[in-house]
Amino acid sequence: MTTKMMPNRQVGRSVKRLESHSKVTGRAEYTHNLRLPGMLHTKIVRSTVAHGLIRAIDVEAAKQVPGVHAVITGEDVRKFIPQPYFGPAFHDQPILALDKVRYVGEAVVVVVASDPHIADQAAQLVVVDYEELPAVFDEIEAAKSDVYVHEELRPAGTFPDLKHLVGIRNTNIALDFSLTHGEPEKAFAEADHVFEHTFTTQQVMHTPFEPMISIGEPTHSGLTLHTASQSPSFVRIEIARLLGWPENKVRVKTGQLGGGFGAKLYIKLEALAAALALMLNAPVRVALTMEEQFYTITKHATTFHIRSGVTKDGRIVARDCDVWWNGGAYADIGPRVTQKSGFTAAGPYDIENVKIKSAAVYTNRPPAGALRGFGIPQLVWAYESHIDLIARELGIDPLEMRRKNILRNGRPQATGTIMKDAAIEQVLERTAERMNWSAPFDKGSGTRRRGRGIAIGFKASVAPTTSVAMVNIAADGSCSLYSSTVDMGQASETAMAQIVAEVLALETENIRVVRPDTDITPYDMATLGSRSTFHMGNAVRLAAEDAKQKLDELAREVGLTNASDVPLSQLFIKKYGMQAGNVIGVGTYIPPYKSPDKKTGQSDNATPFWMIGATGVELEVDTETGHVKLLRMVNVCDLGTPLNPKVVETQISGAAVMQIGFTMSEIMNFDAGQVTNASLADYKIPSFHDLPDLMENEAVDAEQTTGPFGAKGVGESSTFGVSPAIANAIQDAVGVRISSLPITPEAVYRAIAAADNRALEEE
């Protein structure tokens, strides 16, 4: 059922964001603005060594500072919570470091004071004595090293398919996903050509402009956490587990989020805020500076060896992918990224024989988790650079090369899952069309050389997950929606309200969306991986339909055929004799899914839906400086039938801009494990003049038949193609291939210089 067929056109309309007014009037509910009576403030003392045993901690001087309420160490926490280890995939991260530290910046001690400045001051006085241990930083070295970041693996049990890892010792490989499809070895042997390349990506940060914050508040019924989280339901469950409490004693409330991008997922500061609030029996605020976010959660650096067997006419017959994920010191959701993205590492191509190994590796770096794309941009970077190189080697046009191999609906993906509702070909063709690929292209001249590139990627959705929604209609017919989806700027509240309004024939603007509060809003796995529109959207639709059905029952009880015969308020008066009562609808959605076989990685239903994104780029390289100017960028995605076209367009451009940063400039620099540019002064996110002169964003006309009103995920798809499209365009312009991100002017300049030298030598 698509928008077009609906009567009251709430869905498909570019409704203004419901929350905009509150943001421009300063009424937006950010956790940072919350002040609780008697609230205490904190400063975290962080590790100065990458790997070391904690010999001694001296907190006496800090305790003497007037206004300091407590100085808490990991051991203090352990007295209160005997097993103080948390994490979504592994229970490997202590609330405060215990026995040893595993990266520079790890939380070791926390000072709690009446005022944040006092806490800062006192934190300077804490002295920690370490016995340094050898450290490992590179994912490849770490995989082989006998320096172990953790003594043993501790899968959380959240995901049954990780249970087999329990208790494995003496390894830094947290998870090793492998997939085999067809007979890759045989196919490689028979291939006309075999191409092999290695590509790497750097460690970067999410940079939400609202820094992370969690406030713990002891209450009459247990504990309330006010937290800038993307996953209130998960926090509730994880905190309850840590405390040994039932879920209903833990209340998690989120406000509006100033960005998340995966940084505020699962559990971060909440465990510390909860422990401190209960230990000190007072509200305690744990808020990070921008700098501290660099030490809290990041995006995986990766190394990707990719090898393809190709026929002379350009058909890819075999592909071997070997992906190494640098997970840092704690697993966070890394193992899940490794798995869930791993199985698409061969790209959106129809390849009969595929072999994939994807390994999450512990190192002594800040932890890496999920960042807009859940690992996909790293994979696309490699396979779309790789295919471009192959095309050039074989003298085939890069677009043509992709056309020859593109994965079409009805054909099996590497897991064996038959593709459906995946407009891969359509996205590729539409991108080419908007790039006028077939038309002649001005390559520039002299020191200003122009090139163009194209790249396409796809992504599966995380599964299995559950979403529950509730719709409540008051006696005057006004309607409230209860959903634990967190609006961090993506306008999910507006989109969900549109779905309710569509089903109940109301105006979106009149729907009241109740913010996530685990005492109120039902369970949702999390706001991540572009799952909300599809998963929560379906749950919301079911809840609204349940309410509609109950309204119709009510109508029949009072002798009407259906609810729409009279104004809703009349319906209630007829039934209850006055303005009284509610109609409450509930919807629960779990998508059909079959988890891939542990050995072969095969599944006949590996994902609830596919996300597709392609990018075309035209750019100019200054051969004297290596500076790259983006002239034009075309982003085309398949995100089903848009619920809110305007919002969808801003999501496409936003994701692409973010990926431009990861492509051209952003990188966390390290010196012996110490981040040397942990500030927005030194860590360069894109500014306006880094953006393309012309940027075009388009959603192809598509439909996710299983999605709410044909819709599916939107937030990540345009991150996929950006990096390789740019690298491909640079090669098109100046003939050099950049295989490591970021593509800084220096990197381009050095590549050009090296090429020139080779040319000279050859003379």
444 vs 581, which CB is nearer to a copy of itself?
Answer: 581
Q: DSSP of 292-358, one letter per residue?
A: HHHTT-EEPEEEEEEEEEE-TTS-EEEEEEEEEEEEESS-TTHHHHHHHHHTTTT-SB--SEEEEEE
If you search the block for the tokens 């991540």, which residue do you land on? 528
* Of positions 90, 343, 458, 523, contacts a copy of itself by CB under 8 A: 523
The b/e string for 657-696 (b: 16+ C-beta within 10 A; e otherwise) is bbbbbbbbbbbbebeebebeebeeeebbbbeeebebeebb
- Please, which residue, 107 or 500, has the CB nearer to a copy of itself? 500
Residues 685, 664: Cα–Cα separation, whole Å: 9
Find out whether 491 and 644 touch, Cβ atoms under 8 Å.
Answer: yes
Q: Please, which of residues 194-233 interact with a copy of itself by CB under 8 A?
A: 218-221, 233
At 448, is the secondary structure helix, strand, or coil? strand
Residue 452 vs residues 201, 526, 617, 655, 750: alpha-carbon distances, Å: 22, 38, 5, 20, 20
Q: How far is CA 356 from CA 100, 127, 344, 347, 414, in A?
A: 35, 47, 9, 11, 9
362 or 523: CB nearest a copy of itself: 523
Task: State the nearest-atom distance from the C-beta of 82 to a copy of itself, in Å.
Answer: 19
Give Rg (Cα) of the chain. 27
- Count each helix (H run) and each strand (E run) in the chain, helices first: 19, 30
Nearest approach in angstroms of CB 513 to a copy of itself is 8
CB of 578 to a copy of itself, least distance (A): 6
Q: Which of 48, 478, 564, 605 forms a contact with a copy of itself (CB under 8 A)?
A: 478
CA-nearest of 456, 523, 512 to 479 is 512
Decide: is 244 part of the binding site for a copy of itself (CB under 8 A): no
Site membership for a copy of itself, residue 468 (CB under 8 A)? yes
Q: Which helix (H) or strand (E) holds 359?
A: strand 353-362
- What is the nearest approach in angstroms of a copy of itself to the Cβ of residue 412? 24
Position 704, amino acid:
Q
Can you list the alpha helix ranges (DSSP code H) found in 406-462?
424-434
Q: Taking the complex as a whole, how short is the minimal distance between the CB of residue 246 and a copy of itself, in angstroms?
A: 3
502 catalytically annotated = no
Rounded-to-integer distance, Cα 367 and Cα 633, Å: 32
Task: Check residue 280 for interaction with a copy of itself (CB under 8 A).
Answer: no
Which of 198, 205, 200 lies closest to 741, judged by CA? Answer: 200
Residue nearer to a copy of itself on the CB measure, 136 or 287: 287
Which three-class secondary structure state does DSSP give residue 362?
Answer: strand
Taking CB under 8 A as the criterion, the residue among 472, 635, 644, 665 binding a copy of itself is 472
Position among 417, 480, 641, 704 found at the interface with a copy of itself (CB under 8 A):
480
Q: What whole-number distance in Å separates Cα of residue 305 and Cα of residue 320? A: 8
- What is d(CA 339, CA 345) in angstroms, rounded to the nearest whole number? 10
* Of the candidate residues 53, 61, 166, 580, the single one contacting a copy of itself (CB under 8 A): 580
* Residue 522 contacts a copy of itself per CB under 8 A: yes
Question: Based on CB atoms, which residue is closest to a copy of itself, 514 or 685?
Answer: 514
Distances (CA, A) of 12 to 154, 504, 604, 644, 712: 46, 15, 32, 5, 13
Taking the complex as a whole, the smallest distance from the CB of residue 742 to a copy of itself amounts, in Å, to: 37
| Positions in 387-446 near a copy of itself (CB under 8 A) | none
CA 504 and chain centroid, separation: 32
Least separation in angstroms between CB 251 and a copy of itself: 9
Number of residues located near a copy of itself, criterion CB under 8 A: 57
Pairing state of beta strands 222-227 and 250-253?
parallel
- The active-site residue, picked from 106, 429, 698, 716, is 716
Q: Which of 610, 637, 630 is nearest to 697 (CA)?
A: 637
| Member of 129, 476, 624, 682 binding a copy of itself (CB under 8 A) | 476
Q: For the CB of residue 178, give the shortest distance to a copy of itself in the complex, in Å.
A: 22
Q: CB under 8 A: which stretch of 115-123, 289-297, 518-526, 667-675 binds a copy of itself?
A: 518-526
Site for a copy of itself in 247-266 (CB under 8 A): 247-249
Beta-carbon contacts of residue 553 (< 8 Å; ≥ 6 apart): none
The residue (of 496 and 667) whose beta carbon lies closer to a copy of itself is 496
Site string for a copy of itself, 4-43 (x = CB under 8 A): ---------------x-xx--x-xxx-----x-x------
Q: Taking CB under 8 A as the rule, which mask of x and - marks residues 599-638 in contact with a copy of itself?
A: ----------------------------------------
Q: How far is the CB of 482 from a copy of itself (least distance, A)?
A: 8
- Name the residue nearer to a copy of itself (CB basis): 120 or 161: 161
User: Which residue, 106 or 493, is less far from a copy of itself as judged by CB?
Assistant: 493
Residue 588 interacts with a copy of itself (CB under 8 A)? yes
- Told to check if 680 binds a copy of itself by CB under 8 A, we report no
Interface contacts to a copy of itself, rule CB under 8 A: 19, 21-22, 25, 27-29, 35, 37, 158-160, 218-221, 233, 237, 240, 246-249, 464-466, 468, 470, 472, 474-480, 510-512, 514, 519-520, 522-523, 525, 575-582, 584, 586, 588, 590
Residues catalogued as catalytic = 716
